[in-house]
Amino acid sequence: MRQIPVHVAIIMDGNGRWAQAKGLPRVAGHKEGISSVRRVVKIAADTGVKYLTLYSFSTENWKRPSEEVEFLFSLMETTLIKEMKELHDNNIKVRFIGRIRALPDKLQKIIEDTEELTANNTGLNLTFAVNYGGRQEIIDAVKKSISLGYSVDKLDEVSFREFLYCPELPDVDLMIRTAGEQRLSNFLIWQSIYAEFYFTETLWPDFSETDFKKAINEFTKRKRRFGGL
């Protein structure tokens, strides 16, 4: 039987390079990248993937020009407002992980509304990592455990997971990165210890259903031993 990854995570890279190659401003690449998000969400659900996590804005992305950062947040706001009903109608459960409280108030409210609307859906679990960093998640988890007075003696890998942003998010099976880069970039560090990596030269705005299926097919060829023989 064909092995389908339960949890697929994607580092959506190459929006700016896509735009620059076409002589367009970088923000045009971000806008075009939304189409790829729509395609991947649909094909992931159709393929039988249970969890899809998309790296939408990292804690390091604040280093970008303020105009670009503001545009990204504005694009998130308008896209979520436009798409949340369709996501809900397609039984998709949407969640957000990261330091959400540092985001603009309007975006926080839209995020809250989207999560609330789709909370009881039972289809694809779609997670957006926004203002997210893997190290930051681990630090925040430690702080949370301390603030709740959790006993260090009782802390292990299973109990520690409960303090992560989304405890029910399973470990990553397949990590996809577009645009030719081959690094994790502080994404889902805790959850990716045994992830299979798939790198492609395709820029994110050009990432198609065919590209996604290629990644899934490659995953099915991997032999996962998890440290065993």
Q: What is the pLDDT of residue 229?
A: 61
Domain presence at residue 188: yes
Residue 143 lies in a domain: yes
124 with 158, same domain: the answer is: no
Q: Is residue 36 part of a domain?
A: no
- The confidence score (pLDDT) of residue 178 equals 98
178, 12 in Cβ contact below 8 A? yes
Task: State whether 17 and 124 are in the same domain.
Answer: yes
For the chain, the 3-state helix, strand and coil shares in percent, each to the nearest 5, are 50, 15, 35
Residues belonging to the active site: 13, 61
What value does the mean pLDDT take over residues 46-74? 96
Structure tokens at 101: 């409280």
Span 154-174, mean pLDDT?
95
| Partners of 126 in beta bridges | 52, 94
Instruction: Tell me the three state secondary structure of residue 127.
Output: strand
User: CATH number for the domain including 56?
Assistant: 3.40.1180.10
Give 7: exposed, middle or buried? Use CB within 10 Å, 0-12, 13-18, 19+: buried
Same-domain pairing of 127 and 110: yes
Write out pLDDT tens, residues 90-142.
Answer: 999 999 999 999 999 999 999 999 999 999 999 999 999 999 999 999 999 99
Shortest CA distance to 76 belongs to which of 122, 129, 26, 123?
129
Mean pLDDT score, 185-192: 98
- Do 84 and 147 sit in the same domain of this protein? no
Residue 145 is part of which domain span? Answer: 135-168
The answer on 71 and 82 residing in a single domain is yes
Which residues, in sequence order, are CB contacts of 214 under 8 Å at separation 6+? 200
What is the average per-residue pLDDT within 83-96?
97
The number of folded domains in the chain is 2
Residues 174, 187: one domain? yes
Residues 85 and 159 placed together within one structural domain of the fold: no
Q: Are residues 148 and 214 in the same domain?
A: no
